């Protein structure tokens, strides 16, 4: 596809990456891989094993062949953030749009726009999990519907508080499945252990009423009981009445804890299981 195609895909031009760009990837990869065991969820760690992203910036064509054999997903190169309708159409068709550029060495810790490390290291391993792969496609289909009903803001919050910054409850305590955390050198430990952010049990309407801030550590994380429960609620919900409710319900500002919120405590360093308070 030529640049500027309707679907915003561009050639990845994998051969065009410099050794310095591959070195940025391996620097970021080694830093994350040394930290994530015990913090990232099993689905993510198993996905990393299956895809082996250790050698440098992956060749999307070769990565897609491996990924497609697992869950039918492929990775397509885009120049950066793409318009909403394009983004949702890709997800609805099991194509993950990944930026082809990589951050520079002086941007190792934070960059505004998702680069290939955030997109491929952060997001793609979860797409090897059949349940999460189904969730991401269902999300894309929902996005196209939400666009039609003018409720995109609500649906974008669902993505933010699950796909980007979601936490998962396990018998060993909280684990991370959100790409924005998994690809961050500093937020991973913070999201599970720091006492300052709130951690609330996931609820679809609750999430859709909650705005988010994009330029600092999150002050609020939502915790799902299982990836299956996330898929089920997305597939089983009739969004029309939900959107009708949301149209008249006020947003819930970050920092607000509602009477009916299930607040979860951070996991203690002793590995003590989370207790509902």
144 binds, options ligand HBI, Fe ion, none, Cβ within 5 to 8 A by partner type: none
The reply on whether position 90 binds ligand HBI by CB under 6 A is: no
Residue 83: CB minimum distance to ligand HBI, A: 6
The reply on whether position 114 binds ligand HBI by CB under 6 A is: yes
Integer Cα distance of 80 and 237 in angstroms: 31
> What six digits make up the tokens of 174?
């909280």
169 binds, options Fe ion, ligand HBI, none, Cβ within 5 to 8 A by partner type: none
Of 12-20, 90-98, 110-118, 135-143, the window that binds Fe ion (rule: CB under 5 A) is: 110-118
Residues that contact Fe ion, how many (by CB under 5 A):
2
The strand ranges marked E within the chain are 74-78, 95-99, 167-170, 173-176, 198-201, 220-224
Give the residue from 87, 92, 88, 29 showing the smallest Cα distance to 58: 29
Q: Which string of DSSP letters, residue by residue, matches 6-23?
A: TT------GGG--HHHHH
Q: Which pairing describes strands 167-170 and 95-99: parallel, antiparallel, or unpaired?
A: unpaired
By CB under 6 A, name the one of 7, 21, 59, 84 that touches ligand HBI: 84
Q: Which is nearer to ligand HBI, 134 or 164 (by Cβ)?
A: 164
Q: Which is nearer to Fe ion, 179 or 192 (by Cβ)?
A: 179
Q: Which pairing describes strands 220-224 and 198-201: parallel, antiparallel, or unpaired?
A: parallel
The reply on whether position 149 binds ligand HBI by CB under 6 A is: no
The reply on whether position 115 binds ligand HBI by CB under 6 A is: no
197 binds, options ligand HBI, Fe ion, none, Cβ within 5 to 8 A by partner type: none
82 binds, options ligand HBI, Fe ion, none, Cβ within 5 to 8 A by partner type: ligand HBI
The reply on whether position 7 binds ligand HBI by CB under 6 A is: no
125 binds, options ligand HBI, Fe ion, none, Cβ within 5 to 8 A by partner type: none
Whether the Cβ atoms of residue 114 and residue 96 lie closer than 8 Å to each other: no
The reply on whether position 82 binds ligand HBI by CB under 6 A is: yes
Residue 165: CB minimum distance to Fe ion, A: 10
87 binds, options ligand HBI, Fe ion, none, Cβ within 5 to 8 A by partner type: ligand HBI
User: What percent of the residues of the chain are helix, what percent strand, and what percent coil, each to the nearest 5?
Assistant: 50, 10, 40
Long-range contacts of 32-39 (CB under 8 A, 24+ apart): 32/121, 32/182, 32/183, 32/185, 32/188, 35/185, 35/188, 35/189, 36/176, 36/182, 36/188, 39/175, 39/176, 39/188, 39/189, 39/192
Q: Please tell me whether residue 224 adopts helix, strand or coil conformation.
A: strand
Query: Reading across the β-sheet that carries 167-170, which strands appear in turn?
Result: 173-176, 167-170, 220-224, 198-201
Integer Cα distance of 175 and 41 in angstroms: 5
Residue 214: CB minimum distance to Fe ion, A: 11
Q: Contacts with Fe ion in 165-204 (CB under 5 A)?
A: 179
Of 48-56, 81-89, 131-139, 251-259, the window that binds ligand HBI (rule: CB under 6 A) is: 81-89
The reply on whether position 87 binds ligand HBI by CB under 6 A is: yes
Footprint of ligand HBI on this chain (CB under 6 A)?
81-84, 87, 97, 114, 118-119, 123, 164
Footprint of Fe ion on this chain (CB under 5 A)?
114, 179
């Amino acid at each position: 596809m030529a640049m500027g195609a309707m679907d915003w895909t561009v050639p990845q031009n994998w051969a065009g990456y410099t050794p310095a760009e591959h070195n940025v990837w391996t620097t970021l990869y080694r830093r994350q891989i040394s930290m994530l065991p015990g913090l990232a969820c099993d689905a993510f760690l198993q996905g990393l094993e299956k895809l082996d992203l250790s050698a440098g910036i992956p060749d999307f064509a070769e990565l897609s062949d491996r990924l497609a054999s697992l869950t039918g997903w492929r990775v397509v190169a885009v120049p950066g953030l793409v318009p909403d309708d394009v983004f949702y159409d890709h997800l609805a068709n099991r194509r993950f749009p990944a930026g082809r550029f990589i951050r520079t060495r002086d941007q190792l810790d934070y960059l505004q726009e998702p680069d290939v490390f955030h997109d491929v290291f952060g997001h793609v391993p979860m797409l090897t999990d059949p349940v999460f792969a189904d969730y991401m496609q269902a999300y894309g289909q929902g996005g196209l519907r939400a666009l039609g009903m003018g409720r995109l803001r609500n649906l974008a919050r669902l993505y933010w508080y699950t796909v980007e910054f979601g936490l998962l409850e396990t018998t060993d305590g909280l684990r991370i499945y959100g790409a924005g955390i998994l690809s961050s050198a500093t937020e991973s430990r913070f999201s599970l252990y720091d006492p300052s952010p709130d951690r609330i049990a996931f609820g679809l309407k609750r999430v859709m009423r909650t705005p988010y801030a994009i330029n600092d550590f999150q002050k609020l994380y939502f915790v799902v009981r299982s990836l299956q429960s996330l898929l089920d609620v997305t597939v089983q919900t009739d969004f029309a009445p939900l959107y009708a409710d949301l149209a008249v319900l006020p947003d819930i500002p970050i920092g607000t804890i509602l009477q009916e919120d299930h607040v979860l405590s951070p996991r203690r360093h002793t590995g003590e299981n989370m207790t509902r308070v």
